[in-house]
Structure 1
Amino acid sequence: MIKRLAIYFKEMYPLIPRFFLAIIYFFEIYFVLLLNVGENSFSIGPQEWVGVWTIFTFLMALRIADDFKDYEHDLRLFPERALPSGRVTKRDLAIALATMVTITVLLNFWWMNNIGWFLFLFAYGTLMSLWFFSKAKIQKSLPLALVTHNPVMMVMNIYIITFVCYKYHLPLISLPTVLLAFTMYFPSLIWEISRKIRAPKDETEYVTYSRLFTYQKATRFVQTLTLVDIVTNFILLWAISKIGVLVLLVNVIWINVQFQRFIADPNQFSIKTKVERYTYITETTMVLSVIAHLISQGLN
């Protein structure tokens, strides 16, 4: 079983990169919130690492749940993947999932201060894995699947935000907390839509937003989301790094040029790859700006 799981995680959820991503994700929200409210005294301990572990295992649980949910679909369209190909079994994944979730639950009850939000997060994830008891309706509707499943990323953001607020005695609802909940949610929403936008010649039986709404309308919708997203980033980063804001400005101008090029001729490149590059640059800028600010504070 260990060898089969190693194959699965290598292909579907690389453990070291994803744990590193969980660290970045957790502490980006953590420090951006604290720096925006003027909190300069940080105390990082076991709770923070339990939070990182929770993000890591929750995203793993979503990955495994998706493979269970889409098993019949993947047998037909993606037979080379680890589960439909038989290189890992459902039993293997069920044991791994049960083990990781049990450890995460115990750690949260022992260390964390926001148990209610933790339970809400995993309850939402469980309902997603069960198609909110409406599989027949949701599975055949791409927009309905989006509005029911994608907000889980917002719930994950709130899990981190509430931990920080309770620990440092901050108000749960404020401009920084609301902006953070959205600015860390938009990238997942933008990516989820853009990965299902294709040029007409590339369409298959796989349902995409470009098939449903035309690639022009789908692209313009993502473009609008990108503009809203960058405004939230500007506001949150302004007090941390003016240089970072300038980098974000150049980046958003660049991606909007790509959107217009794709609308004019969808055959020259995949918009998904451009959106991924834009997202990486945006999030890297946010992280590096926070690190630079913390270093400068330490030197002062």
Structure 2
Amino acid sequence: MLKRLLTYYKEMYPLIPRFLLAIIYFFEIYFILLLNVGKSDFSIGIQEWTGVWTIFTFLMALRIADDFKDYEHDQRLFPDRALPSGRVKKRDLAIALAVMVTITVVLNVIFMNNIGWFLFLFIYGTLMSLWFFSKAKIQKSLPLALVTHNPVMMVMNIYIITFVCYKYQLPLLSLPTVLLAFTMYFPSLIWEISRKIRAPKDETEYVTYSQLFTYQKATRFVQVLTIIDILTNFILLWNISKIGVVVLLANVIWMTIQFQQFIHDPTRFSIKNRVERYTYITETTMVLSVAAHLLLQGFVR
């Protein structure tokens, strides 16, 4: 079983890169929030690492749940993937999921201060895996699947934000908390839509937003979301790094040009690849700006 699981993780959820991603994700929200409220006395301990572990295991749970949900679909369209190909068994993944979730629950009950939001996060994830008990309706509707499933990333953001607010006695509802909840949600929304936008010649039986709404309308919608996303980033980064704001501005100008080029000629490149590059640059800029600020100020202890 272990060998099969290692094969699965290597292909579908590389453990080390995903754990590093969880660290970056958690502490990006953590420090941006504290820096925006003028908090300069930080302390990192077991609670923070429990939060990182929770993000890591929750994203893993989503990956496994998606493979379970889409098993029949993947057997037809993606038969080479680990689960539909039979190189890993459903029972293997079920055992791994049960162990990881049990550890995560125990750690949160013992160490965390926002157990209610933790339960909400995992209950939402569980309902997602069950198609909110409306599989027949949701599975055949791409927009309905988006509005019911994608907000889970917002819930994950709120899990981190509430922990920080409770620990440092900050108001739960404020401009920084609202902006953070959205600015860390938009990239997942933008990516989820853009990966299902294709040129007419590349369309298959796989349902895409470009099939439903035309590639021009779907691309313009992602463009609007990108502008809103970058505005939230501007506000949050303004007092942390002016250089970072300049980089973000240059990045969104470049991305705007890419959107227009794709609308004019969708055969030139994949918009998904351009969006991924834009997102990597944006998030790297945010992380490096925060890290540089902390190092210069010597805040972390």
TM-score scaled by length of structure 1: 0.99
Distance 2:267 2:298 in 1: 50
Aligned to 1:59: 59
Q: What is the correspondence of 1:123-138 to structure 2 with a 5 Å cutoff?
A: 123-138=123-138
* Structure 1 position 232, deviation (Å): 0.1
Q: 1:298 Cα shift?
A: 1.4
Per the TM alignment, residue 4 of structure 1 is displaced from its structure 2 partner at its CA by 0.1
Q: 1:9 offset after TM fit, Å? A: 0.2
Question: What is aligned with 1:42?
Answer: 42
Give, in angstroms, the shift of residue 219 of structure 1. 0.1
% identical equivalent positions: 86
SS in 2 for 1:160: helix
Distance 1:83 1:112 in 2: 34
2:194 equivalent in structure 1: 194
CA distance in 1, matches of 2:283, 2:35: 17
Equivalent position SS for 1:60 = helix
Alignment correspondent of 2:214: 214
Runs of 4 or more consecutive aligned structure 1 residues displaced over 6 Å after TM superposition: none
Residue 258 of structure 2 aligns to which amino acid in structure 1? Q
CA displacement 1:2-49 (0-9 Å, x = unmatched):
000000000000000000000000000000000000000001000000
Structure 1: give runs of 5+ residues left out of the alignment: none
Q: Which amino acid letter does the alignment assign opposite residue 278 of structure 1?
A: Y
Q: What is the identity, as a one-letter code, of the residue corresponding to 2:256?
A: N
Q: Distance in 2 between matches of 1:296 and 1:86?
A: 52
Q: Does 1:182 align with 2:201?
A: no
- For residue 298 of structure 2, give the secondary structure of its aligned residue in structure 1: helix
Task: Name the residue aligned to 1:285.
Answer: 285
1:171 is matched with 171
Amino acid at match of 1:141: S
Partner of 1:149: 149
Partner residue in 2 for 1:109: 109
Amino acid at match of 2:250: V
**For 1:296 and 1:99, how far apart are their aligned partners in 2?**
41
Letter in 1 for 2:107: L
* Amino acid in the other structure paired with 1:109: V
SS at 1:122 equivalent: helix
1:73 alignment counterpart: 73
Which sections of structure 2, spanning at least 5 residues, go unmatched?
A: none
Tell whether 2:111 aligns with 1:119.
no
Shift of 1:87: 0.1
Measured on the aligned residues, the alpha-carbon RMSD in Å equals: 0.5
Q: Alignment length, in residue pairs?
A: 299
Deviation by residue 1:245-283 (Cα, 9 ceiling, x = unmatched): 000000000000000000000001000000000000000
The superposition leaves residues 160-216 of structure 1 with CA deviations (integer Å, 9 ceiling, x where unpaired) of 000000000000000000000000000000000000000000000000000000000
